[in-house]
């Protein structure tokens, strides 16, 4: 009887085990399944993913104090970060060789653009399969947008790596099999191909972007129609501006001149800031400008060399670009940097700063703070007219058209810096161009470091401490090299 | 005690059914052999039958037996059992029992519904009883386990009041799945979740090299349970013992049984008061002169230091020197007749005041356990527990905003006085220079004393634990017993975290948003439902037990957070903020499982054979309908059994067990299930939604990790039961390890989840129990525990070695998972490592350079093994002396040897050129290759970036965990006071002293909280404390 009973119970348990548990469920509460975007693309899903490309780019560029504009800015000696919480801002980041193993000081700014490359590929594949289908114009818009953004991501990857690069340009099939790695030149070839394809896609698109683009695409009222960069033509001109940058890094000077001409470049002195911007809001889920600086003792501060480098206006005060972008802050030293001048004499051109730039820069107070992004919602430039003018000048210098270049440079000097004109000669043209770029594009997109790098002038950047140096590239992260072995 | 109730019911039942066969009556009385006091409710069975009875409260019993000589077995929990031969015409017996100091007799829960006598156990199962647990008032249960069980390592992640402890049993058995054992309270799996406070929103700890929110000084929720309610804690250490818990048990299972009353109605009142006291400080560089101060801290140093040497102010003491009154009051009411209704009710109010202002821990707990037997066949127990805990934990651990106290101290010279002035205003951490400009030592002049005084970091939990267990004895006769045991349990808690940082703080303007208010509400629900059938069959001197059971478990955690910045009027109110963001996170898991177990006890109770198969299914697995099978087999044989107590060895048992258990893929409330590949939904751009790729690729076929453990041992009792020796060795192979396999980030993913690796843990455990003296004047009980575990990464299946998640890059030293090496090895950059063995000599305090075939045999850009966080061995020493039955001294010491820590707090001090050992004493600045591990700060710092090993430091220690001295009033005196049964006074001390060479605050800390790999990273922890208590208790 007992055997039967136990047998019965046993069978019952087995039965329960086999049948009653087909519905165990752990929903993906916090996220959306990626596969859903792949298998069931919808217009909204695709537009939302496309918006994500901008979000990823923005969050990497300027979403935090250690993001790309700031991090590579430190390498290029635009700024210091006197952060006592992680001493690597004052050590690793200032060394001549960044570590591929370091997740925030060398091996970074790699994975995020490639997230965009993968998502971009998924969007492009989904355009044809969307339910309901996209209109032809919307499909072209989306294709042009995605290719432009992916091209921008790929360009920024190649720009900060060494010439070997070893950078893939495609999304691989599976996470375990990376796509083939190619050289920097091949990356640029791909960037140019994508940008040109995007431009022709955008030519076939019309109207306003189906992707709800931010006020960073507004343009400047009075110069262009508000929302200009949300129109297919406006976005195409943004695409051409990026195309000009690609040509600049490829030293294709005539291509650069052509692309600049097709972009939104304008000689209006009031339009220096016309361009496309990363924007920030305080809404939940959005991010704030991570470069915004507050208080009189922030960690991020201007490199003391800028005081020595700055040209003075006719009245003896500094270049307006210096004055406009900085403010005095209290001094602080760390790691033997920004130690300070023991006998402080105010800096004659701007007595708000107590320290005179004599001696080595390490012996100077770092009392210059940034006022470039005064609010947490101040936009951060992706590309703007002031850079286009300087790009046109550079192309003309390189093509021997010093007169045309001089006009653009003097326009920028006067409109942006309040400085008198200069006369360009073949001997001083590049130096002068680099000075204008240094102050016009200060703390934007690490242009200083990129410029000194492409002109092989990294050795001219100030090195304040024995053992420090200027890294010439961000290494491919350890994870990438390892996975490829 | 529930066990007793069950047994009693069964025996009574049997007694009534066999009453018809009575032929003669034996009466007797049972007494303690030392005190001669009567022993209440003894159990008497006739050997070889299930005939028996339970004696009364006075120890007297009456038993009807067959004619002729019989052999009686007399048992009582807490005593050695005794075998009495009763002659054919003997009517009255006097029985004395000996206290089972070494607990050889106890019953141990080994299955879901079955238990085994310790003498027959095939596994080494650690047990602690509540009396020992509460020798010294413990904040939390896990703190109380420390040092008491061979194989169980407890680490306190920080000195912050409340929980935050990691219990690691037999080494780390995983890398990315759960690091915690399973906690079972009264048959119900309870949550030990650790939900971050969200302090990261002000510290930005996750904003640097490591994005983990585990840096929020997490408190794991087992801390809620009142240690005073505990009857016993049993620890099933490995897969072979815990296989019946299936895919959640590879880290072991901690089975907690709460108290059940019995006997006359009894009230126990206890009160203890005491204080916590800072037990270690780091100190900092001493400056010889103003010039020296300028050298270290710039012009501001020269302003503040005006004498030679500079004045010294102990800011660490100012911060953490509080000795505020802490107290604990308990009431416990219990009583009832075994076999009918028993109850236990308790209340506790505990209020610990931390060593830092605004820190502390509070618990209010109320419990009612009722057990009732209905109709002799149905035994119901109801356990309910309502708890409130509150922890105020300050701001500690890593951060990137110069806020956490010990992130600021490394850059604070000791010649500045950070204390508030008479108006309560704190000075900035810096000085005003001669030219009138302000110069701070840290960003915005952040002052830790101000932070401690003004920031509130408050975690409140309301928790309800409820369980009902029904035991039905359906059949009970000479040969067979059949029971249905059905537990149902609910564990619900609601956790509220409120953090407020007011606008007045020096560091608040740094983000441009004055004031931050953080509110989080988290709800966690665990439901367990189960059913078991147990059939015991007696035949020809053997006993066969068949158990089958089925379990369903449901776990659901939801977190809602509101973050408010820029507070209107500085009010602690998230909707008074101009910038508000919200977070919602949720995870749910459902598990289903069943088992069949067969146990054969034969050869005169000498041989026990067990076989079990567990089937498990979970929604956390990739394939949610797949059953995973976890088998177990075990055998124990008593070579000598206790029938000849006169022999040197009275009891010798050999045992062996093999079993498998699992570790489920995680469904983390924050990160989601590991099986998913996802797009993040929480981002937008100016209010326009955008999805962003989540960097980890999931695996649709993800399976649980599988631990296969073989354990063997020998247990010896000798010297007239005064000595017990337990030796256990084990080998645990863990396969299907879930890796976040690093993939080429150019694929868009940082890693991919996969079952891909094999680990092995090998270890040895010894417990020596000894009672050198037993007597009415002096009793000395002693227990020494020794154990070690060695781990090895066996096979990464082609994957290159990688750094574990917890860490900041190998340039600071990190945990490096590498084939053939210990799972917990610490490896750091060393440019001297060239991959050439002739050059790669070990530096003192380190091991050889790494040469791995994956990296072409040249080492990985120069890396060296600098240590291992796993101790070479651990020992603990418990001694319990009772003098004249009134005075008791209890001591528990723990010794841990050979473990290392990555001391990044010291690195921060070095960077501030402010370490206590900054100035080199021997006059020559040596390279770290020469001076390690005794370098000065001046010598260490230049090697940063090229060598990581100077900051990986030995952390062996010897701690006086518990010392208590108890005086019990003689019974006569006690009785004269409200007729009390017992009045005791107690002086107790916890963590009185630590002897260690470790230079950090405490050798147990973990910046990342509970981690399988990577726990021993020291970044700005909460400083450690000792506590001293004086108390009394009265039993009425």
All structural domains of chain B with their residue ranges: 2-97, 133-273+327-395+454-681+695-824+869-899+955-1035, 274-326+396-453
Pair B460, B496: CB distance under 8 Å: yes
B692 with A55: CB under 8 angstroms?
yes
Q: pLDDT, tens digit, for every residue of A15-56?
A: 555 555 668 889 999 999 999 999 999 999 999 999 999 999
Q: What is the pLDDT of residue B799?
A: 81
pLDDT in tens, A385-409: 999 999 999 999 999 999 999 999 9
pLDDT of residue A417: 95
CB contact under 8 A, B207 and A105: no
Neighbours of B355 (CB within 10 A): 28
Mean pLDDT of chain B: 88
| B950 in reach of chain A (CB within 8 A) | no
Written as six digits, the tokens of B207 are 């904003």
Query: Each residue of B151-177: pLDDT tens digit?
Result: 888 888 888 888 778 888 999 989 988
Q: Residues B321-337: what's their mean pLDDT? A: 93
Among B851, B811, B802, B858, which Cα is nearest to A97's? B811
Say yes or no for a CB contact (<8 Å) between B475 and A5: yes
Looking at domain B133-273+327-395+454-681+695-824+869-899+955-1035, which CATH architecture does it have?
Beta Barrel (2.40)
CB distance B563 to B581 below 8 Å = yes
Place of tokens 């020794």: B786
Q: Rg of chain B over CA atoms, in angstroms?
A: 30
B855 pLDDT higher than 80: no
Closest-approach residue (CA) in chain A for B402: A85
Q: What is the pLDDT of residues B727-737, one digit of tens each?
A: 999 999 999 99
With CA atoms as reference, report the closest residue to B699 among B661, B664, B665.
B665
Which residue in this structure is represented by tokens 């210059």? Answer: A368
- Range with lowest mean pLDDT among A76-85, A167-176, B40-49, B667-676: B40-49
- Tens of pLDDT, residue by residue over A54-112, are 999 999 998 888 899 999 999 999 999 988 888 888 888 999 988 887 778 888 899 99
Print the SS3 string covering A86-116: CHHHCCHHHCCCCECCCCCCECCCCHHHHHH
Tell whether B523 lies on the interface with A, counting CB pairs under 8 A: no
Q: What is the DSSP letter of A355?
A: -
**B400/A86 touch (CB, cutoff 8 Å), yes or no:** yes
Residue A437: strand, helix, or coil? helix
* B508: nearest CA partner in chain A: A295
In this prediction, what percent of chain A has a pLDDT beyond 70?
Answer: 93
CA–CA dist A281, A265 (Å, integer): 28
B750 vs A contacts (CB less than 8 Å):
111, 479
What sign does the CA torsion over B9, B10, B16, B22 have?
negative
Q: Are strands B115-117 and B107-109 parallel, antiparallel or unpaired?
A: antiparallel
Q: Give the pair of three-digit tokens for residue B204.
A: 């930005």
pLDDT greater than 60 at residue B350: yes
What is the pLDDT confidence band of residue B989, given thresholds at 50, 70 and 90?
very high
Cβ contact, residue pair B445, A297, below 8 Å? yes
Q: Out of A365-379, A429-443, B927-941, give the one with best mean pLDDT.
A: A429-443
**Partner A contacted by B1022 (CB < 8 A):** no
CA distances from B699 to A40, B77, B330, B620, B694 (A): 20, 50, 50, 11, 14
| Distance between CA atoms of residues B253 and B190, nearest Å | 11
CB of B798 less than 8 A from some CB of A: no
Omega before residue B933 within 30° of 0, cis: yes
What confidence score (pLDDT) does residue B311 get? Answer: 94
What is the predicted pLDDT for the residue at B55?
83
Interface test with B, best of A10, A13, A30 (most B CBs within 10 A): A30
**Residue B277 to residue A478: CA distance in whole angstroms:** 45
pLDDT given for residue B18 in this prediction? 43
Other CB atoms within 10 Å distance of the CB of residue B48: 12
In this predicted structure, which of A246-255, B59-68, B732-741, B943-952 has the lowest mean pLDDT? B59-68
Which of 3.30.1540.10, 3.90.700.10, 2.60.40.1120, 1.20.210.10 is the CATH number of B2-97? Answer: 2.60.40.1120
Q: Give dist(CA A88, CA A131) in Å, integer.
A: 50
Token look-up 């004599």 returns A358
Task: Mention every residue, 6+ apart, whose C-beta is less than 8 A from residue B259.
Answer: B1, B130, B229, B230, B231, B332, B334, B344, B346, B369
Closest Cβ–Cβ partner in B411, B590, B944 for A84: B411
How far apart (Å, rounded) are the C-alpha atoms in residues A377 and A369? 18
Q: Which of A2, A92, A483 sits opposite B742 (nearest CB)?
A: A483
Put simply, the answer to whether A30 touches B482 (Cβ < 8 Å) is no
What pLDDT is stored for residue B205 in this prediction? Answer: 82
Q: How confident is the model at residue B776 (pLDDT cuts 50, 70, 90)?
A: confident
Q: Is the pLDDT of residue B222 over 80?
A: yes
Evaluate the CA torsion angle A110, A111, A116, A121 in order and state its sign: positive
The predicted model gives B553-575 an average pLDDT of 92
Across the beta sheet with B70-75, the strand order is: B52-54, B43-46, B70-75, B82-86
Confidence of residue B832 (pLDDT cuts 50, 70, 90): confident
Specify the higher pLDDT residue, A483 or B395.
B395
- Which range in A205-214, B53-62, B369-378, B970-979 is most confidently predicted, on average pLDDT? A205-214
């Amino acid at each position: 009887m007992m055997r039967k009973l136990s047998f019965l119970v046993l069978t019952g348990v087995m039965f329960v085990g086999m049948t009653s548990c087909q519905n165990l469920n752990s929903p993906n509460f916090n996220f959306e399944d990626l596969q859903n975007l792949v298998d069931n693309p919808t217009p909204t899903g695709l537009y939302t993913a496309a918006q994500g490309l901008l979000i990823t780019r923005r969050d990497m560029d300027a979403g935090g104090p250690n993001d790309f504009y700031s991090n590579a800015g430190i390498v290029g000696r635009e700024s210091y970060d006197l952060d006592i919480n992680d001493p690597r801002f004052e050590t690793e980041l200032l060394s001549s060789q960044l570590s591929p193993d370091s997740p925030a000081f060398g091996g970074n700014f790699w994975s995020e653009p490639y997230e965009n490359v993968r998502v971009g590929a998924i969007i492009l594949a989904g355009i044809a399969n969307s339910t309901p289908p996209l209109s032809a114009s919307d499909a072209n818009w989306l294709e042009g947008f995605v290719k432009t953004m992916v091209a921008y991501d790929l360009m920024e990857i190649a720009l900060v790596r060494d010439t070997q690069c070893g950078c893939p340009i495609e999304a691989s099939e599976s996470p375990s099999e990376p796509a083939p790695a190619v050289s920097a030149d091949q990356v640029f070839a791909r960037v140019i191909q994508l940008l040109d394809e995007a431009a022709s896609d955008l030519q076939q698109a019309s109207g306003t972007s189906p992707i709800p683009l931010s006020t960073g695409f507004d343009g400047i009222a009075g110069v262009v129609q508000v929302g200009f960069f949300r129109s297919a033509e406006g976005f195409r001109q943004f695409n051409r501006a990026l195309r000009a940058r690609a040509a600049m890094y490829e030293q294709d000077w005539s291509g650069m001149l052509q692309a600049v001409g097709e972009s939104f470049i304008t000689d209006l002195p009031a339009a220096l800031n016309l361009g496309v911007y990363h924007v920030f809001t305080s809404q939940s889920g959005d991010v704030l400008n991570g470069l915004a600086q507050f208080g009189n003792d922030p960690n991020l501060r201007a490199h003391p060399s800028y005081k020595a480098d700055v040209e003075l206006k006719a009245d003896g005060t500094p270049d307006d670009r210096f004055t406009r972008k900085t403010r005095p802050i209290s001094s602080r030293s760390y790691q033997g940097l920004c130690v300070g001048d023991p006998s402080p004499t105010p800096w004659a051109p701007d007595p708000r700063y107590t320290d005179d730039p004599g001696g080595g820069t390490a012996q100077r107070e770092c009392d210059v703070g940034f006022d470039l992004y005064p609010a947490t919602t101040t936009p951060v430039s992706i590309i703007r007219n002031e850079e286009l003018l300087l790009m046109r000048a550079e192309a003309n210098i390189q093509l021997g058209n010093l007169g045309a270049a001089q006009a653009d440079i003097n326009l920028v000097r006067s409109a942006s810096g309040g400085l008198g004109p200069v006369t360009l000669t073949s001997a001083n043209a590049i130096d002068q161009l680099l000075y204008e770029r240094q102050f016009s594009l200060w703390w934007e997109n690490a242009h200083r470091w990129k410029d000194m790098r492409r002109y092989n002038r990294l050795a001219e950047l100030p090195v304040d401490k024995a053992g420090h140096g200027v890294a010439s590239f961000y290494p491919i992260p350890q994870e990438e090299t390892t996975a490829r072995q | 005690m529930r066990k007793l109730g069950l047994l009693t019911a069964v025996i009574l039942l049997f007694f009534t059914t066999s009453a018809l066969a009575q032929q003669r009556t034996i009466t007797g009385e049972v007494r303690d052999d030392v005190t001669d006091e009567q022993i209440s409710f003894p159990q008497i069975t006739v050997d070889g039958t299930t005939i028996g009875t339970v004696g009364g409260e006075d120890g007297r019993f009456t038993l009807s037996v067959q004619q002729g000589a019989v052999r009686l077995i007399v048992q009582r929990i807490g005593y050695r059992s005794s075998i009495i031969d009763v002659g054919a015409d003997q009517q009255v017996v006097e029985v004395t029992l000996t206290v089972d100091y070494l607990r050889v007799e106890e019953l141990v829960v080994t299955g879901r519904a079955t238990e085994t006598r310790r003498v027959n156990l095939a596994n080494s199962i650690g047990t602690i009883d509540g009396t020992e647990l509460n020798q010294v008032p413990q904040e939390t249960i896990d703190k109380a386990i420390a040092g008491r069980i061979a194989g169980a390592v407890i680490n306190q992640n920080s000195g912050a009041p409340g929980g935050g402890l990691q219990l690691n049993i037999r080494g780390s058995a995983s890398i990315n799945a759960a690091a915690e054992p399973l906690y079972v309270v009264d048959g119900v799996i309870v949550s030990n979740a650790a939900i971050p406070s969200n302090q990261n929103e002000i510290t930005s700890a996750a904003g640097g090299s490591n994005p983990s929110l585990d840096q929020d000084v997490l408190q794991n929720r087992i801390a809620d349970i009142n240690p005073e309610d505990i009857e016993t804690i049993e620890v099933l250490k490995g897969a072979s013992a815990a296989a019946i818990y299936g895919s959640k048990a590879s880290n072991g299972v901690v089975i907690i049984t709460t108290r059940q009353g019995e006997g006359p109605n009894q009230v126990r009142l206890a009160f203890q008061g005491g204080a916590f006291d800072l037990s270690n400080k780091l100190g900092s560089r001493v400056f010889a002169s103003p010039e020296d101060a300028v050298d270290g801290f710039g012009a501001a140093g020269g302003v503040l230091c005006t004498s030679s040497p500079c004045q010294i102010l102990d800011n660490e003491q100012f911060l953490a020197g509080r000795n505020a009154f802490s107290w604990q009051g308990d009431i416990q009411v219990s009583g009832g007749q075994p076999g009918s209704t028993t109850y236990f009710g308790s209340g506790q109010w505990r209020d610990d005041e931390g060593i830092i202002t605004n820190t502390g821990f509070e618990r209010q707990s109320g419990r009612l356990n009722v057990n009732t037997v209905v109709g002799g066949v149905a035994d119901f127990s109801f356990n309910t527990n309502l708890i409130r805990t509150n922890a105020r934990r300050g701001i500690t651990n890593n951060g990137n905003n110069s806020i956490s106290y010990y992130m600021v101290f490394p850059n604070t010279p000791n010649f500045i006085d950070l204390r508030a002035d008479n108006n309560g205003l704190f000075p900035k951490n810096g000085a005003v220079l001669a030219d009138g400009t302000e110069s701070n030592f840290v960003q915005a002049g952040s002052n830790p004393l101000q932070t401690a005084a003004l920031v509130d970091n408050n975690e409140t939990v309301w928790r309800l634990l409820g369980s009902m267990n029904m035991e039905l004895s359906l059949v009970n006769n000479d040969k067979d017993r059949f029971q249905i045991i059905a537990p149902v349990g609910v564990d619900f808690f609601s956790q509220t975290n409120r953090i407020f940082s007011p606008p007045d703080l020096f560091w608040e303007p740094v983000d441009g948003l004055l004031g931050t208010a953080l509110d989080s509400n988290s709800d966690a629900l665990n439901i367990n439902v189960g059913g078991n059938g147990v059939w015991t069959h007696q035949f020809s001197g053997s006993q066969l037990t068949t158990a089958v059971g089925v379990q369903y478990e449901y776990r659901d955690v939801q977190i809602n957070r509101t973050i408010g910045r820029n507070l209107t009027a500085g009010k602690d109110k998230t909707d008074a903020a101009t910038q508000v963001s919200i977070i919602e996170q949720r995870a749910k898991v459902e598990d289903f499982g069943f088992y069949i177990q067969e146990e054969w006890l034969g050869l005169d109770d000498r041989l026990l054979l067990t076989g079990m198969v567990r089937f498990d299914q979970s929604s956390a697995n990739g394939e949610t309908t797949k059953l995973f099978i976890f088998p177990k087999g075990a055998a124990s044989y008593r070579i000598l059994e206790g029938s000849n107590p006169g022999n040197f060895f009275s009891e010798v048992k050999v045992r062996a067990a093999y079993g498998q258990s699992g570790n489920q893929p995680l469904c983390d409330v924050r990160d989601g299930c590991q099986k998913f590949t996802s797009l993040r939904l929480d981002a937008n751009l100016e209010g326009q939604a955008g999805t962003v790729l989540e960097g980890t690729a999931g695996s649709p076929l993800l399976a649980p990790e599988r631990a296969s453990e073989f354990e063997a041992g020998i247990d010896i009792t000798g010297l007239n039961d005064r000595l017990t020796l337990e030796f256990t060795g084990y080998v645990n192979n863990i396969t299907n390890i879930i890796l976040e396999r690093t993939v080429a980030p150019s694929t868009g993913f940082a890693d991919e989840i996969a079952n891909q690796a094999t680990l092995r843990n090998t270890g040895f455990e010894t417990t020596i129990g000894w009672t050198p003296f037993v007597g009415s004047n002096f009793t000395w009980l002693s227990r020494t525990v020794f154990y070690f575990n060695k781990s090895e990464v066996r096979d990464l299946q082609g994957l290159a070695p990688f750094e574990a998640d917890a860490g900041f890059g190998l340039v600071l030293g990190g945990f490096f998972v590498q084939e053939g090496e210990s799972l917990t090895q610490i490896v750091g950059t060393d440019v001297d490592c060239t991959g050439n063995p002739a050059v790669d000599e070990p530096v003192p305090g380190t091991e050889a350079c790494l040469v791995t075939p994956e990296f072409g045999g040249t080492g990985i850009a120069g890396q060296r093994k600098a240590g291992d966080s796993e101790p070479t061995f651990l020992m603990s020493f418990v001694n319990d002396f009772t003098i004249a039955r009134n005075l008791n001294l209890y001591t528990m010491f723990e010794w841990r040897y050979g473990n290392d820590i990555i001391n990044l707090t010291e690195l921060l001090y070095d960077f501030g050129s402010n370490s206590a050992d900054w100035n080199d004493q021997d006059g020559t600045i040596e390279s770290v290759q020469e001076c390690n591990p005794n370098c000065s700060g001046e010598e260490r710092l230049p090697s940063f970036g090229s060598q990581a090993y100077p900051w990986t430091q030995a952390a062996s220690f010897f701690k006086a965990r518990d010392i208590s001295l108890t005086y019990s009033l003689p019974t006569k005196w006690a009785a004269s006071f409200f007729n009390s049964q017992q009045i005791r006074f107690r002086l107790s001390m916890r963590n009185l002293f630590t002897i260690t060479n470790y230079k950090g605050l405490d050798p147990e800390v973990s910046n990342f909280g509970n981690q399988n790999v990577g726990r021993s990273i020291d970044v700005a922890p909460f400083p450690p404390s000792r506590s001293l208590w004086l108390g009394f208790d009265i039993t009425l």
